[in-house]
Amino acid sequence: MTVQLSSILKREINPGQVAFVRIDCNVPLNEDGSIADAFRLDAVVPTLIFLRDRGVKVVLAGAIGRPKGNRDEALTTQCVADYYSGKVFENCVYVSEVFGDEVQNAINSISNGECVVLENLRFWSEEESNDEQFAKNLAGLADFYVNDAFGQCHREQASIVAITKFLPSFAGVCLEEEVKALENVLKNGQEPVVSIVGGAKVSDKLGVIEALVKRSDFLLIGGAMAYTFLKSQGVVIGDSLCEDDYVTKAAQWMETGKIVLPLDNVVAESIDSIKTQTVRNIEDGYAGFDIGEKTVEKFREVIARANTILWNGPMGVFEKNQFANGTSEIARAVATSNAYSVIGGGDSVAAIRGLKLESQINHVSTGGGATLEYLEKGTLVGVDALRTKDR
């Protein structure tokens, strides 16, 4: 049985208390340093408002990019403070350190219900090495800890794992919703369960496919990874991407009878060609870059019968118009279905948001690697750290 997470919503809070709130602020940036997409920052707003309205002083921490233990002005968290200033907090102060006098003075100077944003934690190598003393120093700033960084919970880092040894620790609203949604799919979802997996490589998603084959009634495979499966069934795949080392594994999964493969493919001479054709068997000199119309029709039929849907990974090279149709059509099919639907991470989330269909999905995950690892293992180190700290 799943151990319940200790939710921040149930904690008794007094005005003036200080919360250390870890968020996933790994947002894409424009060249001028402004935020290109604030999806992850918006996802944690309910937690921030909850704390703000109870007069908590919020110490907000996270990381952007991979500075690998060095200061990198292009990856400062100043943009996070700017984003929340006026939007969530009247006063949101950026500090260029993560503990010490400058930080303490900033916390002392703000009023209850306001916020201090710490510098990018990954400017310090101790963050990624899960260093206990570093975590203790971070913990020393606050009365309690809130983890709302689901997308980082697969990483054993000081502000995700070690810090829970030193403070009463709680799950934020976004993290709790993520875990609930994935548990709904993995354990509590109504059958038939239909999983849709696409993207580049079978080898990247081995554990996920293994888990989903067991959990699902039907597993629809699209994207480049479909060609490894199609090859295992004797379909001619031309120059399409294929991982020959996994053809035997794909054949074994096919024996479960649950896997549904593309019936036709949108092919071209190269990924940059505008000229495309739709075929089943692919000649040499051509490669498949999207699922064809017959496949869309078949996948739609299966999706329409689902009571629970999980989707991860695009059906083709959706970044290019000429290969985007399969992904868009599957996005529409999932959005119009009455099933409980979860879209897990990365490109499929970008596709659904690009089509402005996210409000028709039950849960759109903020995690990429974290979502995949949760589906594979049924938990994450950061989530476990909160469960063992239940109080």
Give me the residues that bind ligand AMP (CB under 6 A), please: 199-201, 204, 223-224, 241, 288-289, 313-314, 316-317, 319, 346-347
Closest contact distance (angstroms) between CB of 329 and ligand AMP is: 14
64 contact partners, CB below 8 Å, separation of at least 6: 25, 26, 27, 29, 75, 76, 77, 79, 80, 120, 122
Q: How far is the CB of 299 from ligand AMP (least distance, A)?
A: 14
57-61 and 115-117 strand pairing: parallel
Q: How far is the CB of 346 from ligand AMP (least distance, A)?
A: 6
- The least distance separating ligand AMP from the CB of residue 227, rounded to whole angstroms, comes to 7
Torsion of CA 356, 362, 368, 374, to 10 degrees: -170
**Measured from the CB atom, is 113 or 346 closer to ligand AMP?**
346
Element (H, E) at 160: none
Query: Is 346 among the residues known to form the active site?
Result: yes
Residue 262 in tokens: 């593309």
Name the catalytic one among 54, 136, 165, 201: 201
Q: State in angstroms the smallest separation of the CB of 85 from ligand AMP.
A: 33
State yes or no: is 40 an active-site residue. Answer: yes
- Specify the residue, 95 or 250, whose C-beta has the smaller distance to ligand AMP: 250
Q: How far apart are CA 199 and CA 7, in angstroms?
A: 34
Residue of 65, 354, 369, 378 marked active site: 369
Q: Quote the least distance from Cβ 41 to ligand AMP, whole Å.
A: 22
Residue 212 Cβ, how far from ligand AMP at the closest point, in Å? 14
CB of 322 to ligand AMP, least distance (A): 12
Residue 177 or 347 with smaller CB distance to ligand AMP? 347
Nearer to ligand AMP, 253 or 289 (CB): 289
Is-contact 314 222, C-beta < 8 A? yes
33 φ/ψ sector (left φ>0, alpha ψ -120 to 50, else beta):
left
All residues at 6 or more sequence positions from 17 whose CB lies less than 8 Å from its CB, including other chains: 56, 57, 143, 144
368 is catalytic: no
Is 201 known to be catalytic? Answer: yes
Instruction: Give 201 or 280: the residue with its C-beta nearer to ligand AMP.
Output: 201
Q: Which is nearer to ligand AMP, 70 or 270 (CB)?
A: 270
CA dist., res. 344 & res. 374, Å (int): 10
Residue-wise DSSP of 202-224? TGGGHHHHHHHHHH-SEEEE-ST
Say which of 346, 367, 368, 382 is annotated catalytic: 346
Q: Where do the DSSP E strands lie in the chain?
A: 18-23, 57-61, 92-94, 115-117, 144-148, 169-171, 193-197, 218-221, 259-260, 265-268, 277-279, 287-291, 308-312, 340-343, 363-364
Which residue number has the CB closest to ligand AMP?
Answer: 199
- Rounded CA-CA distance 373/369 in Å is 6
What is the signed CA dihedral for 343, 176, 205, 359, rounded to 10 degrees?
A: 10
How far, in Å, are 113, 147, 280, 334 from residue 330 at the CA level? Answer: 43, 33, 19, 6
Closest C-alpha to 314, from 175, 231, 205: 205
Rounded distance, CA 271 to CA 309, Å? Answer: 30
Q: How far is CA 214 from the centre of its chain?
A: 22
Q: Which residues are catalytic?
A: 40, 201, 346, 369
